[in-house]
Amino acid sequence: MKSIDDHIIIKIKKARGGSLFFIEDFLQFGSAKAVGKALERLVQREEISRVARGIYARLKTHETFGQIQPTAEEIALAIAKRDKARIIPTGSLALNALGLSTQVPMNIVYLTDGSARTIKVGKRTIKFKKSSPRYLSTQGEISSLVIQALKEIGKDMATDEEIEKILKHLENEETHRLVNDIKIAPEWIRVIMRRALKNREDE
């Protein structure tokens, strides 16, 4: 008869390297307490890794660098998927994603319609900040980042070079998503985003 540990490791080994797991993923094998203890035993035996409190991984292996830890961003996406919550990167994370900053933020913040919480991942923290549904109703991945990046830069503070970079990114956003997201943005950001629409009309 297989133990909880056996059932868990069989399921984990079927997943691709880099997959993240939560206690909830194994509740068919036992109670939350029993599963939690089994996962800790597997961590001690180095069969899986604990990447944050209550979050486990089957790490990817690289020929040169060995085992690769998941990024804070990958962990944030896994939590959002588990909680069926929407998340939007904000602040320096949005700036970094758009190439407007080369600084990798140590503390990353997401707007969410899920639970507000802070999770420690090594030396970094992931903060989920509860937000109103309006700010989470953006449809475009690029235009969502643009809105948050511009908010971080501040009104009338974006340089011509930054605006040109932003407009270049918005060329890759689908028109219907861009039109929707312009309505959600503050007026001073709409002015910049409308330029991306006008550029399409002029082509």
Q: Name the nearest CA neighbour of 118 among 128, 108, 110.
A: 128
Are 34 and 63 part of one and the same domain?
yes
On whether both 81 and 51 belong to a single domain, the answer is no
Distance CA 122, CA 115 (A): 21
Residue at which a domain ends, from 49, 68, 87: 68
Q: Are residues 104 and 128 in the same domain?
A: yes
Helix (H, G, I), strand (E, B) or coil at 1: coil
179 plus 104 within the same structural domain:
yes
31-52 pLDDT, tens digit per residue, is 999 999 999 999 999 999 999 9
53 and 137 co-located in one domain: no
pLDDT at 23: 96
Residues 119, 188 share a domain? yes
165, 191: one domain: yes
For residue 86, give the 3-state DSSP assignment: coil
Q: Which of 64, 52, 54, 66 is nearest to 17 (CA)?
A: 66
What local confidence, expressed as pLDDT, does residue 203 receive? 66
83 plus 18 within the same structural domain? no
Q: What is the CATH number of the domain that holds 22?
A: 1.10.10
Q: What is the pLDDT of residues 105-163, one digit of tens each?
A: 899 999 999 999 999 998 899 999 999 888 899 999 999 999 999 999 999 999 999 99
Q: Residue 201 above 80 pLDDT?
A: no
Phi, psi of 92 (to 5 degrees): -65, -25
83's tokens: 């909680």
Domain that holds residue 134: 72-202
pLDDT cut 90: percent of the chain above it: 81
Identify whether residues 63 and 128 lie together within a single domain.
no
Q: Which of 39, 68, 97 is the last residue of a domain?
A: 68
Overall number of domains in the chain: 2
* 109 three-state secondary structure: strand
The b/e string for 126-148 (b: 16+ C-beta within 10 A; e otherwise) is bbbeebeeebbebebebbbbbbb
| Same domain flag for 64 and 94 | no
Mean per-residue pLDDT of the chain: 93
Residues 97-106: contacts with CB within 8 Å, 24+ apart? 97/145, 97/149, 98/145, 98/146, 98/149, 98/165, 98/166, 98/169, 99/165, 100/149, 100/153, 100/162, 100/165, 100/166
Residues 77 and 64 in one domain: no
Name the domain boundary from 68, 87, 116. 68
CB-CB contact of 121 with 51 (8 Å):
yes
Separation CA 8–CA 175 (nearest Å): 45
Both tokens assigned to 39 = 């996962």
